[in-house]
Amino acid sequence: MSKFDFSDTGPLDAWMPKIGSSFKAAVLQDNGNFVLKDGSNSPRILWQSFEHPTNTWLPGCKFGYNNMTKTNQRLVSWKNSEDPSPGLYTLELDTSSSTYKILWNRSKNYWNSGPWNGRIFDTVPEMNSNPIFEFTYITNINESYFIYYVKGNSTKYPRAVMDVSGQLKQLNWLPTKQWNAFWSQPRQQCEVPYFCGAYGICNEMSLPFCNCLMGFEPKLKSFWDLEDYSHGCQRKTKLNCENINDTGNGKRDKFLEMSSMSLPEAQQYVTAGSEAVCKAICLNNCSCTAYAFDSNKCLIWVGELLNLKQFSAGESKGEILYVRLAASELRSSRKSNGRVIGAVVGGASGLAVLLGLIILVILRQRKKIFSPGKAVVEGSLYYVNGDVSFFPTWAASIIIGGGDVFSLLDPRLEGNADPEELIRVCRVACWCVQREETQRPSMGQIVQILEGILNVNLPPLPRSFPVFVDNSDPEYILFTESSSSRSILSQETVMSTATS
């Protein structure tokens, strides 16, 4: 067991068995490396944190494989946002192909960087878009590792983190005192396996990304609050499998129809000539929790449903999944759906006009001409307290950073706007100008947001908005190619249909 003794009057005294001797000096270097020495002036390093990374990889730190001891360095995610004990996700180097891979539970490989081409990893083209870091691969008889450095003073406090989300994120610290993600891998949150646990459904268009299926609730709500969804969901009402032959008292289990679904794993194929037969096969098996039928192909699921994913309404893909629920759950959902439909009906024309004005404000000077390797911005400068800023970036920073959104209003409105509605409109406007089409809300979603049926969350800085790193040097423009999969909506209501 390691022991550290501190006092106000004396020097540090510590002992670590793996070192085999006591040491008198502990130094936290400017690069973040925590070093233990046998004396403050001694060049001999007994132990250093760079050889034992936790969830963070810093510039100047070797990260790879020891060919002599046959041991791999790993970045291991935290268990949740407050618990630094080892979590489910691990990044390590595969020396056979010079690629990095991310593992779930140290067993299932769900992402790899692709081979190293001498400059970038094949599956991380974002490394080309942000030439801030310089990566180098070293291999010899003793070790094989990657190391990276920051070019000049282009960014402050960069770090690569194996996040609790299961994504590897390259971050840097902004002057606004926020972490900005240059890129995240995998790009989509729902590509991380088992992220939402059993009966949890992952949707890129919701925040949080995980929600329980209708008729289910978080198994451990306190963990969900800490962004740890791995424990999944549990039924609110037990199934009534023993009443499968009872059609008169309303207790027979029913099925919830879920559209646009990526089907969960571990399905079983059964022979069925029609959807009705497929449904009956599942209903008569007390362990069957869901079924799907398409083109005379019947699939059933026995036990917990894992890796449930739902595509957004604008994506023309996915299949229909029928999830087994207690009949009482579907009866109550029909009643609530009636209230929801009534709430959706109504005019949003006034807010829609305001939305248009806000978008025009954000875009009014956004004329750009791009050439390879350089961005020339015309008519897009804005003066804030005497400083020159790129207007769309400035507007987005106010929306994202919680600034005074009234400063974005067109003067013709004379400040005549409801604060809550204005914040909602500003946020959705910023989502509407995201470069990735999949991150933009549909018109139907916009109406629901403006009516207050769906909550809209803070958007990321649009990837096409350049940031002037130093106003004194307008030639240098940094494009923050953030591929993190932040989402648009927080779904308060999911409308589904039920089949009896």
Tell me the CATH number at 64.
2.90.10.10
Q: How many CB atoms lie within 10 A of CB 216?
A: 22
> Which residue range(s) make up the domain with 43?
1-52
The backbone region for 363, taken as left when phi is positive above 0, alpha when psi lies in -120 to 50, beta otherwise, is: alpha
Domain end position, chosen among 293, 328, 343: 343
Contact 88, 105 (CB under 8 A): yes
Asked if residue 212 and residue 178 are part of one domain, the reply reads no
Asked if residue 117 and residue 84 are part of one domain, the reply reads yes
Q: How many CB atoms lie within 10 A of CB 269?
A: 9
Domain end position, chosen among 343, 377, 403: 343
For residue 300, what pLDDT is reported? 96
Asked if residue 365 and residue 318 are part of one domain, the reply reads no
DSSP state of 340: H
Contact 393, 467 (CB under 8 A): yes
Confidence grade of residue 97 (pLDDT, cut at 50, 70, 90)? confident
Asked if residue 219 and residue 317 are part of one domain, the reply reads yes
For residue 203, what pLDDT is reported? 86
Asked if residue 331 and residue 353 are part of one domain, the reply reads no
Percent of the chain with pLDDT over 90: 27
Asked whether residue 364 is assigned to any structural domain, the reply reads yes
Gap between the Cα atoms of 140 and 117, Å rounded: 18
Asked if residue 265 and residue 215 are part of one domain, the reply reads yes
Query: Residue 58: is its pLDDT beyond 70?
Result: yes
Task: Report the domain count for the chain.
Answer: 4
Confidence grade of residue 376 (pLDDT, cut at 50, 70, 90)? very low
> What is this structure's pTM?
0.63
- State the angle between helix axes of 391-401 and 419-432 in degrees (0 to 180), rounded to the nearest 10: 130
Query: Looking at per-residue confidence, does 149 or 488 come out higher?
Result: 149
Cβ neighbours of residue 214 closer than 8 Å, sequence gap 6 or more = 256, 325, 329, 333, 494, 496
Asked whether residue 495 is assigned to any structural domain, the reply reads no
Q: Give mean pLDDT, residues 415-437.
A: 78
Mean pLDDT, the chain, rounded, equals 74
Asked whether residue 271 is assigned to any structural domain, the reply reads yes
Query: Residue 148: is its pLDDT beyond 70?
Result: yes
Range in 154-168, 170-184, 431-445 with the lowest mean pLDDT: 431-445
- Sequence letter at residue 67: N
DSSP state of 255: E
Asked whether residue 499 is assigned to any structural domain, the reply reads no
Buried b (16+ CB within 10 A) or exposed e, 156-185: eebbbbbbbbbbbbbbbebeeeeebbbbbb
Asked if residue 46 and residue 57 are part of one domain, the reply reads no
What backbone torsions phi and psi does residue 406 show, to the nearest 5 degrees?
A: -65, -20
Asked whether residue 18 is assigned to any structural domain, the reply reads yes
Confidence grade of residue 103 (pLDDT, cut at 50, 70, 90)? very high
Asked if residue 368 and residue 414 are part of one domain, the reply reads yes
Cβ neighbours of residue 350 closer than 8 Å, sequence gap 6 or more = none
Asked whether residue 196 is assigned to any structural domain, the reply reads no
Cβ neighbours of residue 46 closer than 8 Å, sequence gap 6 or more = 16, 19, 21, 23, 36, 37, 38
Asked if residue 317 and residue 276 are part of one domain, the reply reads yes
Asked if residue 147 and residue 252 are part of one domain, the reply reads no
Gap between the Cα atoms of 376 and 383, Å rounded: 18
Radius of gyration of the chain from its Cα atoms, rounded to whole angstroms: 27
Range in 29-43, 85-99, 349-363, 397-411 with the lowest mean pLDDT: 349-363
- Sequence letter at residue 55: N
- 73-90 confidence digits (pLDDT tens): 999 999 998 999 999 999
What backbone torsions phi and psi does residue 84 show, to the nearest 5 degrees?
A: -80, 5
Query: Looking at per-residue confidence, does 184 or 416 come out higher?
Result: 184
Q: Give mean pLDDT, residues 450-455.
A: 68
Query: Residue 334: is its pLDDT beyond 80?
Result: no
Asked whether residue 144 is assigned to any structural domain, the reply reads yes
Q: How many CB atoms lie within 10 A of CB 459?
A: 22
CA angle at residue 83 from 483 to 2, to 5 degrees? 120
- Residue in this structure with the two tokens 């595509």, named with its chain if needed: 311
Contact 358, 426 (CB under 8 A): yes
Query: Residue 390: is its pLDDT beyond 60?
Result: no
Asked if residue 181 and residue 233 are part of one domain, the reply reads no
Asked whether residue 192 is assigned to any structural domain, the reply reads no
Asked if residue 301 and residue 250 are part of one domain, the reply reads yes
**Dihedral of CA 165/167/173/174: which sign?**
negative
Domain end position, chosen among 186, 217, 252: 186
Gap between the Cα atoms of 339 and 348, Å rounded: 18
